[in-house]
Amino acid sequence: MENKRLKLVQSFIGKPFSGSPSPFGKWLYGTVVSVDEKSIEFQFTVRKEMTNPLGMLHGGVISSMIDDCIGVNFMVLGLENFYPTISLNIDYFNGASVNDTVLVKTELIKLGRTIINFNALVKNQNTERLIAKASSNLAVSELKIPF
């Protein structure tokens, strides 16, 4: 079976993922760096509106980048049913400033029928420091993915 969703994301490698079906994903405005079923990489540029009171990338936006990339990695698995996120655990290590480039890399750890687990790493490509790491579980639902 052809994996249309994987092909769609692959067609955006090197470009902003403007074909994203996720309105908030479009707000994050990530560029596709690499994508396969085991792992994807997206790059984001820190904008002023993404910052916290200290002028650093907001922890909520970091968690959003992680959650959105895990969502893309789930989508390219080519499954019929939707698996909503049931848990997201993030450890934060370092910050990022406006205009810094942030790389999010996901990794498929377990692909079960009921539960799918991903790791994610977030790196600041300007400072080469680790911004955050995360683990997330998704659980099967009866909802069919409509695209």
Per-residue contact string for residues 7-46; x = within reach of a second copy by CB under 8 A: -------------xxxxxxxxx------------------
Count of positions on this chain that bind a second copy (CB under 8 A) = 57
> How far apart are the C-alpha atoms of 78 and 111, rounded to whole Å?
12
Shortest separation between residue 24's beta carbon and a second copy, angstroms: 4
Does 131 bind a second copy (CB under 8 A)? Our answer is no
Which region holds residue 66: left if phi is over 0, alpha if psi is between -120 and 50, else beta? alpha
Burial class (CB in 10 A: 0-12, 13-18, 19+), 84: exposed
> How far apart are the C-alpha atoms of 24 and 36, rounded to whole Å?
22
Number of helices (H), then strands (E), in the chain: 3, 6
Shortest separation between residue 8's beta carbon and a second copy, angstroms: 12
Instruction: Check: CB of residue 136 under 8 Å from CB of residue 85.
Output: yes
Per-residue contact string for residues 64-103; x = within reach of a second copy by CB under 8 A: xxxxx--x---x------x-xxxxxxxxxx-x--------
Does 139 bind a second copy (CB under 8 A)? Our answer is yes
> How far apart are the C-alpha atoms of 123 and 105, rounded to whole Å?
8
Q: Which residues bind a second copy (CB under 8 A)?
A: 20-28, 48-54, 58-61, 63-68, 71, 75, 82, 84-93, 95, 109-110, 112, 114-115, 117, 119, 130, 133, 135, 137, 139-141, 143, 146-147
